[in-house]
Each structure stands twice: as C-alpha cells, then as structure tokens.
Structure 1
C-alpha cells in the first residue's frame, strides 16, 4: 500500500479495539501466582503482549517448568469474568469504524470466544459481524505472518494493499512479515508508563499514533 487508502484494514483486538491488555496481564499474574509462579504485570506485558496463550506454556516449558493442567482453563475463566465486569472500548474507536468506507476485520491472538465477548461487552460486535480471525485458525501465531495472511485471504484482498492496526511488537512484526503496511497504536492503558512510540517504531511500524481521533491525521 504505497499510496492512498488501503483495500482492507485489519484491526488487532486487544489494545486496539478494547482496552484489555492491563486487565488480561493482571489476570495472568494472579493465576500464575495461585499456581506458584511469580510474574509481575510489567513482566507479563513485556513477555506476552500480542501473543497467544500457547506462548505462555511454551515460555515455561523452555525453562523446565510445567504449568498445571487446569491453568489455561482457570486463566480463561478469570479473564472472561474480568472483561465482563470491567472491559471498556478504546476511546474513539466506534467513530473510526463507523466512518470507514473500506472493508475491515479483526485478526487477534486471543481465542475466538474471548474476542467475541470483548466486542459484545463494548458494543463493537455489530461493526465486525463474523469477520473475526484468530490464532486458533492458523498453525503459527504472531509474530509469524500466518494470521494476517489468512485474514487477507478470507477477505480476498492483496496483502500489499492491506493496512494493519497493532499495539504489540509481535503484531507489528507479523504484519511486516506479511508484506502489509502497519500502524502502531499506543493509546491503550498498558502504554501509560511505557514509551510505546519508541517500542513500536523500533519493531518496524510505518506510523505510530496515540488517539483514535487522529486515525487518518498525517497518514
């Protein structure tokens, strides 16, 4: 997408459509602690932002530690319950998607039921319908390009004409590996105490912005 508007916009969900990253990392830290593993919220953000839950188990296996069999179920239950009570949309996102004139969809590392709940709780679900694609649908999650290429294929759009909106290093890397343009978004609560602009620019984002009201500004 060298010039002009894209033919497709792919939104990540967590941290782009919904302000969920701090909530989910808090849940992860709590459930790990209950299983005897110490991990701060800040460490969770550094290690797993934009990654699937499979990456959590892999991280500990590589260090010779095995999480309890029920860990992922307990984590999922905690996250879904917390989202149902406290999840909020990213400010301004409803206005952005309402005004879009090009096709758009979601491609998320989260499980499909978590994405669906997130969009339902925040009132965003009607915008996206069934155009929800998740890491469960591909062999390799972010930072591999598989998910974004899968979504573009389903939407029947050339990856080179696709714009991705991402908030994580792994997501930015995945979009670039897919040959797509990627804008980094740093307006989520998890970037209040971190230099998100430097983090996502360093990962290769073509542009970084902090407010949805600036979505097309200087684009």
Structure 2
C-alpha cells in the first residue's frame, strides 16, 4: 500500500528546470564559454556535470576537468548566461496550472534557488512569476549565503513562513537540491522530465515526470 502524506503547508519550488525551462539555455552559454577556455563540452555534458551547483563550484569542477579559467571567470559567465536567458525562456509545462491549483487550495508557495535574484528576475520576470514571488517568497543562495546541498536555504524559507520542516514539500530537479531537502527533513518530489530519475530517487526523492502528477502526490 503506498505511503500517504498530509497535505503540505508550504511548497518550495526550485527555479531553474522546475519553474522555468532555463537549463538548456544556461548550459548552452556554459558549454560555449568552457569550450573557449579549453574544455570542449556539449550542452548535455554540461548539464550532466553542473546542473544544481553554485557557480563557484562549477568553476572549481571545470578547472579540475581541464578548463583554463581566469580569476574573473564568474563575472564573465554570468554576463554571458544572462544574455542567453534574456533571449527567452519558457515556463515548464504545467507550472501555471499547478500554481493555480495550489492557490485554490490555499497552500503558500515560494522559490528557493542557488541562483542569484538577478538571474531569477530575468527568467521569472519574462513569465509573470517574478512579481508573484518577489520580495516575500524568493530565497536565493547569493542573498542568504548558504547553498544547496546544505539545508539552510530551505530551512530559511520554512522559518519565514512559520512552517515546520516536516510540513514542507520541495520540488527539485537536481541531486544537490534533493540532498538539501532530505537534510532539511522535508519531503521532496524529484522532477525528471528528461530522465535522470534513478539518481534523484537514490538520493531520497519521489520521482515524477510531469507537473500534472503533482496534485495527486500532494492529495489536493
């Protein structure tokens, strides 16, 4: 018999790859940049190596893989990534309907990302979500100084809304995000529309592939 869970009192969304389909564009910019710096990668290889990490972590890993990166590289890649994102990123299919369903049920939502607020302003702003979440429901690792896979970002969101960790539900698409949720003591749904669900499940997520599945998983 499948395990049943109480309806969450707060749903915490990751941003890139969950609310907005920004990972392909971000990783195109990253692959193009690293190729110029001596580490030729496809977009798929970039996503496999770097999705869910901080840019400082990406820099360290890219150097370990052979990239010759200058000290100013983080500023450089942010400028190139933002330019690529400004060309347009769509919402993930089904997100608008899911947010409307959560609103109808009176369940608060927020976004918690390893990305910066500036990046979220670009991606969410194109789709009408920046105004929905900002300023009271946006939690950025850049602003708070703690990043996934550490649990502090999610715990800060729960504290802000006055909700216990056990009553939160996290929706993530990366291993670092799932790990952060598990460490925070929060139930986690792992979004894997393009595969990779086994990795997320091994880390403790309940895997799903389409946003239309979420209401049933939340019993709403």
Q: Match of 1:215, SS?
A: helix
Equivalent residue for 1:149? 155
Task: Detail structure 1 runs of 4+ shifted over 6 Å in the superposition.
Answer: none
SS at match of 1:184: strand
The TM-score, its normalising length taken from structure 1, stands at: 0.88
Question: Equivalents in 2 of 1:85, 1:139: separation in Å?
Answer: 29
Which moves more between the two structures, 68-77 or 6-15?
Answer: 68-77
Q: Cα deviation per residue 1:155-212 (whole Å; 9 max; x = unaligned)?
A: 221111110000011110110001000001123xxx2xxx32222112210x221111
CA distance in 1, matches of 2:100, 2:91: 14
List alignment gaps of at least 5 residues for structure 1: none
Q: Give the Cα separation in 1 of the matches to 2:81 and 2:5.
A: 40
Report the TM-score, using the length of structure 2 for normalisation. Answer: 0.88
8 Å contact from structure 2 (residues 11, 171) kept in 1? yes
Q: CA RMSD in A?
A: 1.9
| 8 Å Cα contact 2:88-2:126 kept in structure 1 | no
Residues 38 and 68, structure 2, Cα contact 8 Å, conserved in 1? no
Partner Cα separation in structure 1 for residue 26 and residue 160 of structure 2: 28
Distance 1:156 1:218 in 2: 23
Preserved contact between residue 22 and residue 90 of structure 2 (Cα < 8 Å):
yes
Q: How many residues align?
A: 211
**1:9-20 → structure 2 map (5 Å cutoff):** 9-20=11-22
Give the match for residue 114 of structure 1. 119
Among 141, 147, 153, the residue aligned to 1:135: 141
1:96-115 mapped onto 2 (5 Å cutoff): 96-100=98-102, 101-115=106-120
SS of residue in 2 equivalent to 1:216: helix
| Cα distance in structure 2, aligned partners of 1:66 and 1:141 | 25
The question of whether the paired residues in 1 share the 8 Å contact of 2:116 and 2:143 is answered with no
Q: Which moved more, 1:106-115 or 1:63-72?
A: 63-72
- Long gaps (5+) in structure 2: none
